[in-house]
Amino acid sequence: MYDIIIIGAGTAGIAAYKEAIKKTQNILIINDGSWDTTCARVGCMPSKILISTANRVYDIQHADEVELTVKAQIDTSHVMQHVQSLRDRFTKATLKDVNSWEKSHKISGKAEFIDAQTVQVANQKYQAKSFIVAVGSTPSFNREWKESLGDLLITSDQIFELNELPKRLAVIGSGVIAIEIAQAMHRLGVETTVFARSEKVGSLTSPTLQKNAIEVLSNELNIKFKVLPEHVQKYRNKVKIEFTEHGQSQQLITDYLLVATGRDSLLNTLKLQNIDTSFSDITKLPIDPHTKQLAQLPIFVVGDAFTSTPIQHEAAHEGRQAVQNCLNFSKLKNIKTLTPLGIMFSSPEMAGVGQNFKSLTHQKTAFVTGYASYEKQGRAIVNGKNQGGVEVYVDIKTRKLLGAELFIQSAEHLAHLLAWMVGQKLTVDEVLDNPFYHPTLEEGLRTALKHARRQLKAV
């Protein structure tokens, strides 16, 4: 009997293995499919390569933002090769690591539970004192549409495999994946149309920043809000989409349909109902949000498989932390301990830190919002990127910084600073006691913090 069986070798499973091997050699990791992680193969890395290249094209074509006249000829014919070769560099690094592990610790194949102590892979049974379940998720899509469109319906699992940039792309969804990829494709010269079921873009929950983001992004991108395809079909090896806009029936011919409408957990592949029949509905599993324990069992579910924050660093953190709970069962520690931090790599970037506007409002927390627009922010003007704004949320009683939302260029850096401040439970006064260099984007953050402090004084 193994000390731990880890199911899934993505970000969370690999982090769990690397932590567990420091404590015990009596471990097994089972993975169905490729051992190079969703993040490196079809997620974080290829998407960021595409976005970075697209933003370079944009900056060359918009040099007039800083009064430069540039006559450039941009050849995008190697973009997909660039995405793939750089992506391969990252996946190779992961595979090199995995290949260095003891062979007898690894099994390829789909794991299914037989009971709470036993899993089966291709008719072979394996038992463990504890399990770390890190099976991740997969893109959701309409099966009927897939049947009629075949390879022309793609998800984030396929888009980075295209040999060349398409001429035209339709995207369904206006969440994180949809907007990141749609904006990048548009900037690379792909005629891109986004179908959004609601009037919302990306991850922001603040109504002010959301409104601003809709304005800014729809100035650049063709986003059809509250419009969804009604019928799709293959037409001369293209995709024909029928939809209704402003009360009129319309149609659009495009090369591919990218479906980015969320991801489904792969927990349903594990036959958890063999442990307890009540586990057959994976959306209702009794998983403790803090310890990630399934019911009272020595089974811990980590990463994207069951989370409201499907992001890489959380998956890795949960994978590592779960090992302690397995080896010290049943003395459990909370796994979910990181300050919330989410960054969306649109342009301008969106970020959320700590508690967001929506959760603070729902919990009826007594807080003030400090706001700063970046339209007139000195450094942003100098950079020719003066769009968006930031909001900081401060507790009225304790004056502590509770969270922030950002929609500005380079939000990724400010968001980290803010996450570290929120994690240290600093008050707005303590944050403002720190140096703010001139001229920097951080000065805009100071404006927002001061705005919040003025309201506290007024309360």
Ligand X SMILES: Cc1cc2nc3c(=O)[nH]c(=O)nc-3n(C[C@H](O)[C@H](O)[C@H](O)COP(=O)(O)OP(=O)(O)OC[C@H]3O[C@@H](n4cnc5c(N)ncnc54)[C@H](O)[C@@H]3O)c2cc1C
Ligand Y SMILES: NC(=O)c1ccc[n+]([C@@H]2O[C@H](COP(=O)([O-])OP(=O)(O)OC[C@H]3O[C@@H](n4cnc5c(N)ncnc54)[C@H](O)[C@@H]3O)[C@@H](O)[C@H]2O)c1
Residues 261 and 281: their CA atoms lie apart, in Å, by 21
CB of 315 to ligand Y, least distance (A): 10
Structure tokens given for 70: 């540039």
End-to-end CA distance of the chain: 62
Find the residue with minimal CB distance to ligand X: 10
For ligand Y, which is the closer residue by CB, 28 or 213? 213
Of 40-48, 65-73, 378-386, 441-449, the segment contacting ligand X by CB under 6 A is: 40-48
CB of 137 to ligand Y, least distance (A): 8
CB of 317 to ligand X, least distance (A): 11
User: Which residues contact ligand Y (rule: CB under 6 A)?
Assistant: 172-178, 180, 197-198, 228, 260-263, 310-311, 343-345
CB atoms within 10 A of CB 277: 8
CB atoms within 10 A of CB 100: 7
| 135 in contact with ligand X (CB under 6 A) | yes
For ligand X, which is the closer residue by CB, 94 or 373? 94
Residues 115 and 448: their CA atoms lie apart, in Å, by 54
| 12 in contact with ligand X (CB under 6 A) | yes
Residue numbers belonging to the annotated binding site for FAD: 48, 304
Cα–Cα separations (whole angstroms), residue 313 to 15, 234, 304, 339 = 10, 39, 11, 11
Residues 213 and 29: their CA atoms lie apart, in Å, by 43
Give Cα 150 distance to the centre of its chain.
26
> Which of ligand X, ligand Y, none is residue 31 near (CB under 5 to 8 Å by kind)?
ligand X
Half-sphere exposure at residue 278, Cβ-oriented, CA atoms within 13 angstroms: 6
For ligand Y, which is the closer residue by CB, 126 or 225? 225
For ligand Y, which is the closer residue by CB, 25 or 233? 233
Q: Give φ, ψ of 178 to 5 degrees.
A: -60, -50
CB of 363 to ligand X, least distance (A): 25
Of 19-27, 28-36, 361-369, 372-380, the segment contacting ligand X by CB under 6 A is: 28-36
For ligand Y, which is the closer residue by CB, 154 or 311? 311
Find the residue with minimal CB distance to ligand Y: 175
CB of 135 to ligand X, least distance (A): 4
Residues 282-321 binding ligand X (CB under 6 A) are: 303-305, 310-313, 315
**Of the candidate residues 28, 38, 390, 444, the single one contacting ligand X (CB under 6 A):** 38
In the residue annotation, 438 being an active-site residue is answered as yes
The answer to whether residues 83 and 46 touch, using CB atoms and an 8 Å cutoff, is yes
Structure tokens given for 364: 């009826």
> Which of ligand Y, ligand X, none is residue 110 near (CB under 5 to 8 Å by kind)?
ligand X
Residues 351 and 404: their CA atoms lie apart, in Å, by 8
CB of 334 to ligand X, least distance (A): 19
| 348 in contact with ligand X (CB under 6 A) | no
For ligand Y, which is the closer residue by CB, 314 or 391? 314
| 210 in contact with ligand X (CB under 6 A) | no
Q: Of 186, 246, 313, 438, which is the active-site residue? A: 438
The answer to whether residues 6 and 270 touch, using CB atoms and an 8 Å cutoff, is no
Cα–Cα separations (whole angstroms), residue 113 to 5, 117, 181, 208, 216 = 11, 8, 37, 47, 49
> Which of ligand X, ligand Y, none is residue 370 near (CB under 5 to 8 Å by kind)?
none
Residues that bind ligand X (CB under 6 A): 7-13, 30-33, 37-39, 43-44, 47-48, 110-111, 134-136, 156, 177, 266, 269-270, 303-305, 310-313, 315
Residues noted as catalytic = 438
